[in-house]
Amino acid sequence: MKEIFEKVDFDHIEVDERWCFKNVRSTEQWTHGYHRYPAKFLPNIVKKLIEEYAIDDSMIADIFAGCGTTLVEAKIHGKPSIGVDINPVAKLITQVKIRPLLPMDLHIAYENLLNVFDTFNDADFRYNETHERIDYWFRPQEKVKIAFLYKVISDIDETDFRDFFLVCLSNILKNSSRWLQSSTKPQIDSNKIPSEPFEAFKLHCKKMIKQNASYYKELHSKGFLNTSCQIKLQDARNTSLPSDTIGTIITSPPYVTSYEYADIHQLTGYWFDYIENLSLFRKEFIGTFYSNSQVTETTSSIGQEIIDDLVVKEKRKACEVANYFNDMYNVGKEMFRILKPGGHACIVIGNTMFKGVKIKSAEVFFEMLIDVGFSEEKIIKRSIPYKLIPAIRDKTTGKFTTLDNKNSKLVYPEEYILILKK
Ligand SMILES: C[S@@+](CC[C@H](N)C(=O)[O-])C[C@H]1O[C@@H](n2cnc3c(N)ncnc32)[C@H](O)[C@@H]1O
């Protein structure tokens, strides 16, 4: 790390109310409500970042695109954009969210699909062979209906409509399964009565059709229907984006010790054949618990102090965090490579806590970004409205818990927006 690095005291940065959006109630505008996704961006943050930092017409990139919030907002602003994510479910959702469909054509495609519903005969699907994990997560009565939905949607020739309905199906899988509803961890709820798949599908489809109509209308009225926007299934540490081409990066990396995206999206992964081997699939995700790395060293001095504190508490967690920091160092280098000189990187990132050790990811990543060549422009601190706080851990066990547990500790009541310049 550069000797000249001057530590910024993140704890004493004042919360900037202009970035808190306390009164924002809905995150469902345009196509933002198509699919649930853990730790998705508040669209207002992206909107404000675009308006302040993407002032010319050069490309906006999100290299942890998730469900595509940055790309949808870029399109609404008439700015070309590109996204990258390692998760095929994220790619599918984003692909559908960025593509406005002519409302009349979509309406016809939906009516045609509903007509096929009448041909359902559960005997045709009762003995269908599916993945053993599908049998684990789904009761037979829901499973046959989902198998039918998957088959009739897959038979649609027109890719745009097929993908649109697949996203709808993907979004209802959790409700129609035995997965504990409030949990992002794979856990069976033996008392759950899953939603009836046909009704759940129709209900969600109607909502998506309405959102598509408002998105289409907005883009059409502004002349932005054909603004370039694409999503790639790639690794943020090593993208195919050419060097010095991106005007602004707006992104939010995965948290460490938090979500296992491969596990969270396994229902879609198994139904849509995206997962052959879950344990191999998991390893591609940055921030995963399953990296099995044995390394306890990192280049960041702040990061090393954190790892040393963690080694005493739990060696495996220390290795997981060290691996995360080292992956993020490579992400920092990739960001620097793809940005045009003078371009901005805007990174929304929070800290986490494990068994009393504060994992200061924001500080560590900031230190790394300076080391790879960026210069500091601004660090914004924002508080996260209570209902959007992504995860809460028990202070003693470190496990996920609920707010009514008296031992609970808020993990990210605040987060940072790091603005750096190449
Ligand atoms: C915090 S989420 C981003 C959410 C996004 N801002 C949104 O609004 O939906 C982090 C994302 O990083 C992705 N990810 C994890 N490891 C990755 C890797 N090696 N390369 C690219 N994306 C990765 C996850 O699949 C997840 O979608």
Listed residue (366, 361, 347, 341) closest to 411, CA to CA: 361
Rounded to whole angstroms, the Cα distance separating 391 from 242 reads 36
Q: Which pLDDT does position 354 carry in this prediction?
A: 86
Binned at pLDDT 50, 70 and 90, residue 403 comes out as very low
Res. 130: pLDDT tops 50: yes
Atom of ligand 1 nearest to the CA of 84: 21
Q: Which residues are CB-contacts of 243 (< 8 A; sequence separation ≥ 6)? A: 337, 338
Radius of gyration (Cα) for the chain, nearest Å? 22
369 with 1: CB under 8 angstroms? no
Question: What's the pLDDT band for 217 if we cut at 50, 70, 90?
Answer: very high
Positive or negative torsion for Cα 26, 32, 38, 43: negative
How confident is the model at residue 182, as a pLDDT? Answer: 82
Provide the H-helix boundaries in 223-264: 261-264
The number of angstroms, rounded, from the C-alpha of 347 to the middle of its chain's C-alpha atoms is 14
CB 73 within 8 A of CB 251: no
Report the DSSP beta bridge partners of residue 231.
83
Residue found under tokens 């970042």? 49
Ligand 1 close to Cβ of residue 254 (< 6 A): yes
Q: Percent of the chain, pLDDT > 70?
A: 90
Question: How distant is the alpha carbon of residue 363 from its chain centre?
Answer: 21
For residue 59, report the phi and psi dihedrals to the nearest 5 degrees.
-65, 135
> CA 3, 322, 392, 200: dihedral to nearest 10 degrees?
120
φ/ψ (deg, to 5) at 327:
-65, -40
- Which atom of ligand 1 is nearest the CA belonging to 284? 19
User: What is the helix, strand, coil percentage profile of the chain, to 5?
Assistant: 45, 15, 40
Q: Which residue has the higher pLDDT, 188 or 386?
A: 188
| pLDDT tens column, 273-323 | 998 888 888 889 998 888 888 889 999 999 999 999 999 999 999 999 999
- pLDDT tens profile 334-345: 999 999 999 999
DSSP code per residue over 170-184: HHHTTTTSSB-TT-S
With both helix axes pointing from N to C terminus, report the angle between 315-338 and 301-313 in degrees, rounded to the nearest 10.
160
To the nearest whole number, what is the mean pLDDT of the chain? 90
42 lines ligand 1 (CB under 6 A): no
Q: Which residue has the higher pLDDT, 32 or 391?
A: 32
Contact 300, 367 (CB under 8 A): yes
Closest atom of ligand 1 to 261 CA is 25
Tokens of 182: 């409030």
For residue 69 and ligand 1, the question of a CB distance below 6 A is answered with yes
Token pair belonging to 313: 């508490």
Q: 255 pLDDT band (50/70/90 cuts)?
A: confident
* Ligand 1 atom with minimal separation from the 62 CA: 6
Instruction: List CB contacts of 141: < 8 A, sequence separation 6 or more.
Output: none
Ligand 1 centroid, distance to 128 Cα (angstroms): 33
Q: Is 392's pLDDT higher than 80?
A: no
Question: Smallest Cα–Cα separation from 43: which of 1, 17, 75?
Answer: 75
- Cα–Cα distance, 110 to 160 (Å, whole number): 12
Nearest CA-CA partner of 99 in 128, 131, 127, 68: 68
Asked whether 86 lines ligand 1 (CB < 6 A), one says: yes
SS3 237: coil
Rounded Cα distance, 224 and 291, in Å: 42
What does the pLDDT read at residue 124? 76
DSSP string, 361-378: HHHHHHHHHHHHT-EEEE
Reduced to 3 states, what is the DSSP secondary structure of residue 251? strand
Between the CA of 303 and the centroid of ligand 1 the distance, in Å, is 21
DSSP SS3 for 394: strand
Q: Return d(Cα 113, Cα 200) in angstroms, integer.
A: 15
Query: How far does residue 215's CA lie from ligand 1's centre (Å)?
Result: 24
> For residue 125, what pLDDT is reported?
73
What is the Cα–Cα distance from 178 to 162, expressed in whole angstroms?
A: 26
Structure tokens at 262: 């491969």
| Burial class, 16, CB count within 10 angstroms (exposed 0-12 / middle 13-18 / buried 19+) | middle
DSSP assigned state of 416: E
DSSP string, 313-361: H-HHHHHHHHHHHHHHHHHHHHHHHHEEEEEEEEEEEE-EEETTEEE-H
Nearest-angstrom CA–CA distance, 165 and 162: 5
Q: Give the mean model confidence (pLDDT) for residues 248-266.
A: 90
State if pTM tops 0.85: yes
Say yes or no: CB of residue 236 within 6 Å of ligand 1.
yes
- For range 315-333, the mean pLDDT: 95
Q: Is the CB of 263 under 6 A from ligand 1?
A: no
Cα(263) to centroid(ligand 1), Å: 14
Q: Is 195 in the pocket of ligand 1 (CB under 6 A)?
A: no
